[in-house]
Amino acid sequence: NSFYIIDFMNIAIVGTGYVGLVSGTCFAEMGVHVTCVDVNEEKINALREGNVPIYEPGLDEMVLRNHGEGRLDFTTDLISVLDEVDIVFCAVGTPPDEDGAADLQYVLAVARQFGQNIHKYTVLVTKSTVPVGTAKRVKATVEEELKKRGVEIPFDVASNPEFLKEGAAIKDFMSPDRVVVGVESEKAKEMMSKLYRPFLLNNFRVIFTDIPSAEMIKYAANSMLATRISFMNDIANLCELVGADVNMVRKGIGSDSRIGAKFLYPGCGYGGSCFPKDVKALIKTAEKKGYPMKVLKAVEEVNENQKSVLFNKLGTYYKDDLKGKIIALWGLSFKPETDDMREATSLVIIKLLLNAGCTVKVYDPVAMTECKRRIGDIVTYATDMYDAVLDADALLMLTEWKQFRLPSWRVIVKSMKHPLVIDGRNIYDAAEMKEMGVEYRCIGKLRI
Ligand code: NAD
């Protein structure tokens, strides 16, 4: 006999980007009534017309269906829905500011709007990735606005960091390894338990913590993953120097159950909208407290260097005589199944190649439009993966899209001016490549 009775859940999600749109759509799929809010009118209008502005496998169909069935609405006006919702999620961007700390202006703008306009108990949940202590600032901001209005309206803040991966976002959201919810009141805990009940029914774990711990979990998780990548890249580079094969090493250490096999793949550097930004932000948080995060600083440095490893291998092969060479790139997005190019290794490599006087021909199954938007026509956009390698002096493989995994080497060797393939994701078989007449280079293994 709770004093607040909720018949059905009605929530608003502010910020309709990757996280806001995916989580909103997935909650709607679970029967919750969701209104997705964004300041970007174009985005909201497109969604209303059934056009999903981001590429995410399976998302289009789910958005259209839930919108059609009346559980998923879109608006630019948070105020118009505030009286009807029990929970407001904040899923706006938290980009790094000039010195690498998370820029909280959008999160705090939502808090202000919330404080200026609520009329009844509502929970404000931060889903954006925000530094420890942000919930406190959000709470203070809301309180300040309520005070300005001269009203006393109960509310709670909570922290519910998101762990979804772009490219597998729906699966990650619907079948999470865990959901982390930081709360500071029983009432908020009950509301959040109810919202996540469909997930609990499926035996997924919801871990309740205090708010600072929830905020920290997100940064610690991403930083740990970034650390594994940089560690393996360091090991891979050393393997090349001592004559070991990092693929064998990876399998050998990954079978230790204390280490585990996941996230041990070396490559040409991590990118994306999360790892680089979150590692930087955690370093900054620590700095502000006078504590140096030595491991994470090294993680960043290793990653920066790793982004030029393919270019360096190319330089070594051609004895630094790269002027006039035609170089093909396969893969522009920072990882497969997304068009996201934030902090992508491709951007670093394109710059290095152009500075060295190369002509660059690129191909990506979905990120070509995004690439054009970012860098325009300073590179040549190929019509398909085979067109990209025509007359090329080398092919650099940057993103392991499925369609790049088993190409026709016969066609490629015939098309290229010189059949040099530098594989930044270790997806090809060295022996097979040799057989096909390809000069093959990869990460963490000397050529055979
Ligand atoms: P995004 O840039 O794709 O989307 C953010 C949206 O917020 C934009 O559409 C923007 O117009 C909107 N917005 C900004 N201010 C607003 C306001 N005052 N009112 C309404 N809308 C506003 O960002 P994203 O990738 O979805 O990331 C959102 C947050 O989630 C970030 O903190 C990010 O670190 C975190 N996160 C992202 C991922 C990921 O894979 N992308 C995963 C986990 C967590």
Res. 5: pLDDT tops 60: no
Domain match, 314 and 283 both: no
- Which residue pairs from 237-240 have beta carbons closer than 8 angstroms and sit at least 24 positions apart in sequence? 237/306, 237/309, 237/444, 239/444, 239/445, 240/444, 240/445, 240/446
Which region, left, alpha or beta, applies to residue 290 given φ > 0 means left and ψ of -120 to 50 means alpha?
A: left
Q: Is the ipTM of this complex over 0.95?
A: yes
Find the mean pLDDT for residues 405-415: 97
pLDDT tens-place string over residues 141-164: 999 999 999 999 999 999 999 999
Over the stretch 7-30, which tens digit does the pLDDT of each residue have? 679 999 999 999 999 999 999 999
Per-residue pLDDT, 446: 78
Q: How far does the centroid of ligand 1 lie from the alpha carbon of residue 95, in Å?
A: 9
Q: Same domain for 120 and 164? A: yes
> pLDDT of 24-68, one tens digit each?
999 999 999 999 999 999 999 999 999 999 889 999 999 999 999
Rounded to whole angstroms, how far apart are CA atoms 300 and 2? 49
For residue 96, the CA-to-ligand 1 centroid distance in Å is: 12
Residue 102: DSSP 8-state: B
Q: Is the CB of 109 under 6 A from ligand 1?
A: yes
Task: Point out the ligand 1 atom lying closest to the alpha carbon of residue 22.
Answer: 26
Domain assignment present for 356: yes
**What length does the chain have?**
448
Residue 216: the pLDDT is: 97
pLDDT in tens, 202-250: 778 999 999 999 999 999 999 999 999 999 999 999 999 999 999 999 9
The position carrying tokens 């940089």 is 230
What is the model's pLDDT at position 2?
46
Supply the DSSP string of 65-92, one letter for each residue: HHHHTTSEEEES-THHHHTT-SEEEE--
Predicted confidence at residue 273, as pLDDT, reads 84
- Kind of pairing between the strands at 205-209 and 326-330: unpaired
Name the active-site residue from 274, 358, 371, 442. 274
Give the mutation target among 13, 14, 16, 19 for probing the ligand 1 site: most ligand atoms within 8 A of CB.
19
Nearest CA to ligand 1 atom 20: 38
Q: Which of 185, 209, 233 is the last residue of a domain?
A: 209
Asked which of 209, 229, 256 is the last residue of a domain, the reply is 209
Query: How many whole angstroms from 8 Cα to the centroid of ligand 1?
Result: 26
User: Could you tell me if 26 and 151 lie in one domain?
Assistant: yes
Q: Are 160 and 195 in contact (CB under 8 A)?
A: no
As a whole number of angstroms, the distance between CA 289 and CA 11 comes to 36
On whether both 179 and 231 belong to a single domain, the answer is: no
Q: What is the distance in A from the centroid of ligand 1 to the CA of 342?
A: 13
Look at residue 446 and tell me if it is in a domain. Answer: no
Number of separate domains in the chain: 3
Does the annotation mark 26 as catalytic?
Answer: no
Q: Residue 398: its pLDDT value, please?
A: 98
DSSP run (H or E) holding 123 = strand 122-126
Tell me: do 126 and 187 sit in the same domain: yes
Q: Which of 372, 369, 368 is nearest to 385 (CA)?
A: 368
- What's the pLDDT score for residue 200? 78
As a whole number, mean pLDDT of residues 110-131 equals 97
Which atom of ligand 1 approaches the CA of 129 most closely?
Answer: 32
Q: pLDDT confidence of 201, banded at 50, 70, 90?
A: confident
Question: Tens digits of per-residue pLDDT, 287-337?
Answer: 999 999 999 999 999 999 999 999 999 999 999 999 999 999 999 999 999
pLDDT digits (tens, 9 = 90+) for 361-380: 999 999 999 999 999 999 99
Residue 273 belongs to what domain range? 219-304
**Alpha-carbon torsion, ordered 267, 268, 272, 278, to 10 deg:** 80
Does residue 273 have its Cβ closer than 6 Å to ligand 1?
yes
| Sheet of strand 122-126, all strands in order from the earlier edge strand to the far edge | 72-75, 33-37, 10-14, 87-90, 122-126, 155-159, 178-182, 205-209
Question: pLDDT tens across 71-109, in order?
Answer: 999 999 999 999 999 999 999 999 888 888 889 999 999
Q: Give residue 447's pLDDT.
A: 62
pTM given for the model: 0.91
Does ligand 1 lie within 6 Å of residue 110's CB atom? yes
- One DSSP character per residue, 393-424 reads SEEEE-S--GGGSS--HHHHHHHSSS-EEEET
- Start-to-end CA span in the chain (Å): 72
Q: How far is CA 174 from CA 74, 126, 261, in A?
A: 21, 19, 23
Pocket lining: 343 vs ligand 1, CB cutoff 6 Å: no
> Is 447 a domain residue?
no
pLDDT of residue 341 exceeding 90: yes
* Average pLDDT rounded to a whole number, residues 405-418: 97
More reliable by pLDDT, 355 or 167: 355
394-407 pLDDT per residue, tens: 999 999 999 999 99
- Asked if the model's pLDDT at residue 1 lies above 60, the reply is no
In a domain, 178, yes or no: yes
The CB of 396 under 6 Å from ligand 1? The reply is: no
The atom number, within ligand 1, closest to the CA of 76 reads: 20
Q: Is 198 a domain residue?
A: yes
Q: Are residues 202 and 273 in the same domain?
A: no
With beta carbons less than 8 A apart as the criterion, state whether 126 and 231 touch. no
Q: Which of 153, 186, 209 represents a domain boundary (last residue)?
A: 209
Residue 434 belongs to domain with CATH number: 3.40.50.720
Three-state SS at 323: coil
The residues, any chain, with a CB within 8 Å of residue 68's CB and separated by 6 or more, are none
Regarding the beta carbon of 38 and ligand 1, being less than 6 Å apart is answered yes
Q: Is residue 57, in this structure, part of any structural domain at all?
A: yes
Residue 1 lies in a domain: no
pLDDT confidence tier of residue 448, bands split at 50, 70 and 90: low
